[in-house]
Amino acid sequence: MPVYTYNGIDGSGKFVSGDEPGDSQAEAVNRLSTAGISVTSISPKTALSLSFDLGKFFNWVSAYDLKYLYVNLATLIDAGCSLRASLASLAEQADNPTLKSVLTDINSQIASGKSFSESLKGHSAIFPPLFTNLVKAGEEGGMLDQILLRYAAYTENQEKTKSRIRGAMVLPVIVVLVAIGVIVGLLTYVFPTFMQLFKGKENLLPLPTKIVMTISDFLLYRWSTLLGLIALSIFLIWMFLRTRYGWRVYSWIQLRVPLFGKLFRKVYIARFAHTLGALVKGGVPALRALKITGETIPNDYVRDVINEIHTSVERGGSFTAPMQTNKFLFPAMVTLMIHVGETTGKVDMMLNKVGEYFDAETQETINAILAAIEPIMTVIMGGIVLTIALSMFLPLFNISKLLK
């Protein structure tokens, strides 16, 4: 019997995930619904527990393509074109074959009587629940064009944030690769050449030199074993992260790792504020908006806090009560701003201001990380090179004895 991997929300509002057998995807969803779980995403599970879908990899639609789809669709609808005519026009002009096929299918479903939001649900790999729910709110409120424009601005902002983080990682990666290259060169060429002077006298060498020599010989003659160990380690870590416990461990480390922990916390606050603000402003009910917002955050501990906020609101409480008990993630300034928004009835506006503030904070943190990484890597690199150099020169202090 096929097995499906799912993500969903249980009866208490908690985010859950797992595997469910079923003759079909619909049967698995029905079984989960009977158990009180509202499924947000579900996909077939392969024999090796891999959820990686090669079809999705090759049928990829870029964020750039989607952003211009939202903007162009909003412009056409605002100009008075019908939804079906707009979709047909954009499908005809789409360069991406996957996007062309998807738009054509959505248009066909609308023609058969489905709403735009219902048609989008069949293509959740391309259109996330956040977009689908905003479109539903736009349809009900008669402001689909405005919703599309807001979502285009939202996705552009998220892509800018991702681009900044990727940019912050470029320099550390380059420095690490250069450092590894230099160290490997020293250990596999310079050091062995120098040690030819003491061939046959290895037992008389100082301990630091013997240790470096052992590492050098391992790199020279057992490099295939090293590559195998690295590959095995990567695979085991990857498998560990696929478990519920492993991902929670990673989520905990991610928020607390030196330098980058602060960056991730600010990124998640900005995403939380922008996403929830967009949903509330779009007319999505608060409880539903919080559930969708939680689905956009990949960190389990941040999701737990959002779930606490959901429970508080569901019981008639405020957004900010759980935030006050989670000051590690939500600083007092964030709590105060959202509290003011609740008091004045302008939560969406305050959430947007929080998002903009933490976008700027994210950039400042990235700049600080870049400024700190260079001297740290220089010190580490210098320490390793100094150790190798000392291991080469220590025998020279007793060279007369070694060359007898």
**Separation of CA 42 from chain center:** 19
Instruction: Look up residue 117 and give its two tokens.
Output: 């939001």
pLDDT value for 220? 86
pTM of this structure: 0.69
* C-alpha distances out from residue 375 to 85, 166, 177, 274, 371, Å: 58, 20, 16, 35, 8
Q: Hey, which residues does 21 pair with through a beta bridge?
A: 3
pLDDT value for 233? 94
Instruction: Give 324's contacts (C-beta < 8 A, 6+ positions apart).
Output: 330, 335
Number of domains in the chain: 3
Question: Could you tell me if 97 and 86 lie in one domain?
Answer: yes
Give the residue from 88, 123, 156 where a domain finishes.
156
Read off the pLDDT of residues 13-29 as tens digits, 9 standing for 90 and up: 666 677 777 666 667 77
pLDDT value for 400? 56
Measured from the Cβ of residue 36, the count of other Cβ atoms closer than 10 Å reads: 11
Say yes or no to pLDDT of 401 above 70: no
Determine the residue type at 354. Answer: V
Burial of 188: CB neighbours in 10 Å, binned 0-12, 13-18, 19+? middle
CA 245, CA 164: separation in Å to the nearest integer?
Answer: 29
CA 280, CA 147: separation in Å to the nearest integer?
Answer: 11
Question: Could you tell me if 274 and 385 lie in one domain?
Answer: yes
pLDDT value for 376? 83
Give the residue from 139, 156, 173 where a domain finishes.
156
Say yes or no to pLDDT of 148 above 90: no
- Specify if 14 maps to a domain: yes
Question: Could you tell me if 149 and 163 lie in one domain?
Answer: no
Say yes or no to pLDDT of 53 above 50: no
Question: Could you tell me if 299 and 231 lie in one domain?
Answer: yes
Say yes or no to pLDDT of 54 above 50: no
Read off the pLDDT of residues 299-336 as tens digits, 9 standing for 90 and up: 999 999 999 999 998 888 888 889 988 889 898 888 99
Question: Could you tell me if 338 and 370 lie in one domain?
Answer: yes
- Specify if 115 maps to a domain: yes
∠ CA 286-289-290, nearest 5°, is 90
* Least confident span in 129-133, 221-225, 319-323: 129-133
Question: Could you tell me if 262 and 399 lie in one domain?
Answer: yes
CATH number, domain with residue 301: 1.20.81.30
pLDDT value for 237? 92
* C-alpha distances out from residue 152 to 68, 137, 147, 171, 185, Å: 8, 16, 9, 30, 49
Which residue from 273, 256, 282 is spatially nearest to 333, judged by alpha carbons? 273
CA 216, CA 223: separation in Å to the nearest integer?
Answer: 10
- Specify if 194 maps to a domain: yes
Say yes or no to pLDDT of 56 above 70: no
47 band by pLDDT with thresholds 50, 70 and 90 = very low
12 band by pLDDT with thresholds 50, 70 and 90 = low
236 band by pLDDT with thresholds 50, 70 and 90 = very high
Question: Could you tell me if 103 and 225 lie in one domain?
Answer: no
In the chain, pLDDT over 90 holds for what percent of residues?
Answer: 10
Q: To the nearest whole number, what is the mean pLDDT of the chain?
A: 81
250 band by pLDDT with thresholds 50, 70 and 90 = very high
* Least confident span in 151-165, 291-305, 306-320: 151-165
Instruction: Look up residue 378 and give its two tokens.
Output: 């220089």
SS3 44: strand
Say yes or no to pLDDT of 252 above 90: yes
Question: Could you tell me if 45 and 145 lie in one domain?
Answer: no
- Specify if 275 maps to a domain: yes
Read off the pLDDT of residues 259-278 as tens digits, 9 standing for 90 and up: 889 989 998 999 899 888 88
Helical segments of 186-299, H only: 191-195, 207-221, 223-241, 244-256, 260-281, 286-295
Instruction: Give 47's contacts (C-beta < 8 A, 6+ positions apart).
Output: none
32 band by pLDDT with thresholds 50, 70 and 90 = confident
Question: Could you tell me if 165 and 152 lie in one domain?
Answer: no
- Specify if 216 maps to a domain: yes
Read off the pLDDT of residues 74-126 as tens digits, 9 standing for 90 and up: 888 888 888 888 888 888 888 888 888 888 888 888 888 888 888 888 887 78
Q: Which domain holds residue 24?
A: 3-52
Question: Could you tell me if 141 and 254 lie in one domain?
Answer: no
Give the residue from 156, 175, 209 where a domain finishes.
156
Question: Could you tell me if 33 and 151 lie in one domain?
Answer: no
Instruction: Look up residue 381 and give its two tokens.
Output: 């690199």
57 band by pLDDT with thresholds 50, 70 and 90 = very low
- Specify if 17 maps to a domain: yes
Say yes or no to pLDDT of 258 above 70: yes
- Specify if 57 maps to a domain: no
Question: Could you tell me if 269 and 327 lie in one domain?
Answer: yes
- Specify if 401 maps to a domain: yes
pLDDT value for 254? 92
In the chain, pLDDT over 70 holds for what percent of residues?
Answer: 89
Instruction: Look up residue 87 and give its two tokens.
Output: 């979709």
